[in-house]
Every structure is written in C-alpha cells, then in structure tokens.
Structure 1
Amino acid sequence: MKARSEVHGAVSIVNAIASGKGSALGISLKVIAEVEMKKGIETKIISQNTNDYSLVVSIINEIINRYSLPFSGAEITIHSEIPVGKGLKSSSAVGCAVALAACDSCGIEINDQAILDIVVQSSLDSGVSITGALDDSAACYFGGVVLTDNLSRKIIKHVEFNEDLNVILYVPDTESLTKNVNANSLKLYSNIVNHVFNMAINGSFLDAITLNGLIYSTALNYSFEPVRLAISHGALAAGLSGTGPSVAILCNDDSLDSIVSSIEKLEGSVIKTKVNNKKAKVTVSQ
C-alpha cells in the first residue's frame, strides 16, 4: 500500500543544543512524502530539494525493526519547499513526513509520540542532530509553539500561535549542517540559554526568538546585520534559526514590505511565509 503525508517546517524559538531544552514554531513551508514499503529491495529515494538520505533510510529501518515488518526497504518520493542546510528544520520535517507515511502504508496504528520517537531516534542514529531535535520535530508535526526537554524526550508545552503574523526568512547562500557544529562550545552558553527558555515557558516567545538568536549568532560568529535591519524596520522578533545561517523574522502586515526591502539588499534570498498551527496528516492512502 502507498501512503502520502504532509508536514510543515519550523523555526527556532530556543535552540536546544546549549542546554538540552528547546522551543520551535511551526511555519507554512511544507514537505510531502509518498512512501510504499517493499520486499527484496533497499530503500530508494526520489527527492527535490532535500539531502536527508541517511535520516530517511534510518527511519525506514527503525520502523521495520521496531514492528518486525516483512519488508527490506521502501520507495519514497519527497517534495520539499524547505531549503536544506539553512537551519529551517528540513530534516525534522522530512523525517516526520516519511515516518508518518511509512507507518500508514503498513497499516500500523501508531500514536503521535511513537512517530516522534522514531524520528528522534533516527536523527541521533544517522547523526543529523545533536540532541535528537524533539523540539523541531514536534513543531513540524503539531504546528504552533512547542517547548521540549530533548534529553528526556518530553514535550513540556504545546500552544497555538498567532496566524496573522508574517514570517520572513532571510536565507544566506552559505550552508550550515548541525552535525558539523561543535556542541561543546555551545554548551558554554547553557545558563543564559536556560533563562531564555524560561522566558518562552512564560509566553514571551517573540523576545525569546530575538535573544536566542543573538546568543547563538555570537557563539557561531554570524553577523547581527539581518537582525538589526529587521528590528529597525518594525519586526516584532528576529533571530537565527537553528545553527543558521537563516534568520527568522516575525512581523505585522504594516511592516512586511519595509522589512523585506531592507533584507533583500543582503546577499542571499528572502522567503515570505506564515505561522502554521496545522498538525501533520496523511493525505492519501491507497
């Protein structure tokens, strides 16, 4: 049986690498994955705009082994609107989409937590994540704002967010893969990142985005110029997403054009999207 799923992307509110606790916000860029489990073949992947092959293979193997399925692999087609290696949670979105479609294609009745656990474990096994990225996967899967303890794999809080806000993504031409980041150097910032996480727990999501971005931009030696431009033109929040290089900017309609015009002067591209509160779903099962 073949199944197709739809999952959306996310941006960082608090990056979990420093302290093990993180928060992310769902956005409307989406991933569609079509999966058909197979016997007698290894996993084959046809994809547009993704290089998450090791994660995808790990997810399929995890599902086969976890549920003792009579398959050897899968045929998978992935369509993604999310730039890869830019800090925009492409791996988490692809992982959730593949896991959801794969389980449905096998007729497995599985709950949300089990789907996320498969993605988190596979992210660690394949080396695409340092903490397992439960915060990112949960935000992609559930939409809205999630706050998580990645080390204990617990979702602390999940709330919907204001869908009227615009999300502007400044995407530099450079690429940054999380697996190449020195996690130990970022853990030196754990105390101050914990303060930002507590702000987010108390609902100060916009301030947390900006402060988290300033901390990680300092630690990873990124320029503050995109954030400065965005804030000076009316942004409600602006901060580095993931380990960069992308910057996520949230704003009202009245400042959208001004912010985009200022950011477009920088090298790279600009993507306009919205907040997403929609949960991942299976769209076709046949």
Structure 2
Amino acid sequence: MQAKATVFGAISIVNAIATGRGATLGIDSMVEATVSAYDGRGIHLQADSSSMSTKLVNKVVEMSVPKKELEKNRIEILLRSQIPTGYGLKSSSAISSAISLACHKMFRPRYTDTQVLLTGVEASIATRVSMTGAYDDACACYYGGTVVTDNYKRKIIRMERTPVNLAVVVFVPRSRKRGNIKQLKMLGGVFQRAWDFAREGHYWNAMVLNGLAGSTILNSDPRTVAKIIEAGALGVSVSGNGPAIAAVAKKERINRVKKAFAGLEGRTLIAQVNNKKASVHEL
C-alpha cells in the first residue's frame, strides 16, 4: 500500500510569532512524500536532506495513522524537497502536510483538509518545531494563494489567488545565523499593524512593514529592504524567522530585483507563485 502527496512551499508576508496572527504566500517549490506500508513495525525515513527533523516526521505519522495500524505496519517515507531547510521557507510545514496527507489517504480515507492540516500543526507544536503551529504557513503550502490567518484560533481570515503576473525572488544567505526570535514579541504592535494591512488586502504594505521590523531582530540589514524596493519589488521581507529574504515583484521586473541581491553572500532563486492545492494519489 502506497500513496504519494505533493505540497508546495511559501514565503512570509507577516510573521506570526509576535501576535499569533500571520500571512503567507504560496510559491511553486515543492515537496513530495511517498508513504509505503508493509508488514512489520516502525517508522523509517529516507530524505534528501540530512537536516530533516525526524521527530516531526515521526509525530506526524503517529498522529495520522490509527494506533492499531501502526502496531502492524512498517511505515516507510521517501521525501524529496525543493525547499531549502532551516531558512524560513516553510519546509517544515510543507513536509508535515505532505506526510499527513499521504497517511490520511492510506489509513483515513474519509479525511478532511482540516484534519490533514491540523495534524501537521499540532505535531509541529508537540515537537517544538514551531511556537504557534504555523497554521498560516501550513495553509499557504496546502491551499496555495495568499492566506491570512489567526494561528491560535486555527482560522483562515482571508484567502485569495495570487496574481500570476507576479514572481518571487528568494535570497538564501550563506550564513544560517538568526536573531533571537522571542524578541519579536517586543514589536508586537508593529506586527499587529502589518497583519491588519494584510487582513485588508494591502499585502505589500504588510510585507514591507514586516520586513523592516523583523530585520532589526532577525540578523538582517533593514537597508536591504529599501534597496530591493528601489529595484522594483512590491514587497520584501525576511521570510519566517529567517535568514532567507523573499521579494515579490511583477515578472517584468524580477531580473532587476534579483540583481539587487548581487552584493550579498549567498544564492538567489526565482520562484513562481502557486495557486494549486496539495494533491495525493495512491500508487
């Protein structure tokens, strides 16, 4: 028995750490999880990244698969990811949702989208991968589009398709160094205002405000935000808790925005926006 799930990545518009409310935008970098079940016991992971959290993977499986099925099945998971891990690009949310979706398809065929999502969210909290459960990240990865959420209430406040004339530049710095994310709460009022912008549909104002506030704490230079906006980006921000920086621009300006990162140490990627929902099928 096998199932293969595909879930996409996302970038931050508003970081949810400070207030429990966030906003995210789906991109086309993807994660594929192939889950197989054989006679036996145990959870076995094969991944193309050594930095994968096995605790998170195991917890997602334990929460997705009924206990009686776990006791008589050897669960093997093959993960293939285009998303760099540990940079704030929602790899944990995409991976946990993909595994949850494949497991639900196999063992709980009458599942709902909410059940799939909440399994990954609760597993993230239980394993301390996320402070809030990253419901905003999970929703953008799973549904695509642009999503505004209240993470503590597990509620989508606003969701819409992202215009396809936009693209995303992602700068992945050489250094993985981050600031103290707990200090983000000191600027809770600023992040609340950024979230209010997003709730009203003013996504780029939200992203820039989030970028300026977050960069002062998350080991990034606020002047980079101004530089990238000057190059033609609509919005730019540290993504998640960093250290990656994401910029959204119209496609005709995307190469100019990419060149604006040239003086920084790291690599620059171009991603398309994603409006596709996660998918799963049995093999």
Partner residue in 2 for 1:52: 53
Q: How many residues are treated as equivalent by the alignment? A: 280
* 1:139-190 per-position Cα deviation (integer Å, ceiling 9, x unaligned): 100001111111121122211111210100011022258xx9442x221111
Distance 1:126 1:39, change over 3 A: farther
Tell me the distance in 1 between the aligned counterparts of 2:181 and 2:236: 24
Identity rate, percent: 36
Bigger Cα displacement from structure 2, 216-225 vs 20-29: 216-225
Q: Calculate the TM-score normalised by the size of structure 1.
A: 0.93
Alignment partners' CA distance in 2, 1:156 and 1:194: 14
Contact 1:17/1:130 (8 A) holds in 2? yes
Aligned to 1:119: 120
TM-score (norm 2): 0.94
Partner Cα distance (2:218, 2:258) in 1: 24
SS in 2 for 1:255: helix
Q: Do the aligned partners of 2:60 and 2:119 also contact (CA within 8 Å) in 1?
A: yes
* 1:110-148 deviation per Cα after TM superposition (whole angstroms, max 9, x unaligned): 101111110110000111001000000011000011111
User: 1:265 deviation in Å?
Assistant: 2.7
Question: Cα 1:40–1:255, aligned 2, differ >3 Å: closer, same or farther?
Answer: same
Cross-structure match for 2:184: 186
The correspondence for 2:194, drawn from 193, 196, 202, is 196
Paired position in structure 2 for 1:226:
224
Q: Distance in 1 between matches of 2:231 and 2:252?
A: 10
Distance 1:94 1:105 in 2: 17
Name the counterpart of 2:70. 71
- Superposed CA offset, 1:10-67 (max 9, x none): 0001110000111111001000000023453221111113513211111001123xx4
- Superposed displacement of residue 254, structure 1: 2.5
Q: 2:261 aligns with which of 254, 260, 263?
A: 263
Letter in 2 for 1:70: E
1:28 alignment partner AA: D
Distance 1:230 1:98, change over 3 A: same
Aligned: 1:285 with 2:282: yes
- Quote the offset at 1:262 in angstroms: 2.4
What is the identity, as a one-letter code, of the residue corresponding to 2:251? D
Q: Does 1:152 align with 2:153?
A: yes
Shift of 1:202: 0.5
RMSD: 1.7
Give the match's secondary structure for 2:9.
strand
Alpha-carbon distance between aligned partners in 1 of 2:172 and 2:238, rounded to the nearest angstrom: 10
Displaced runs of 4+ in structure 1, greater than 6 A?
none
Distance 1:230 1:182, change over 3 A: closer
**Aligned position for 1:94:** 95
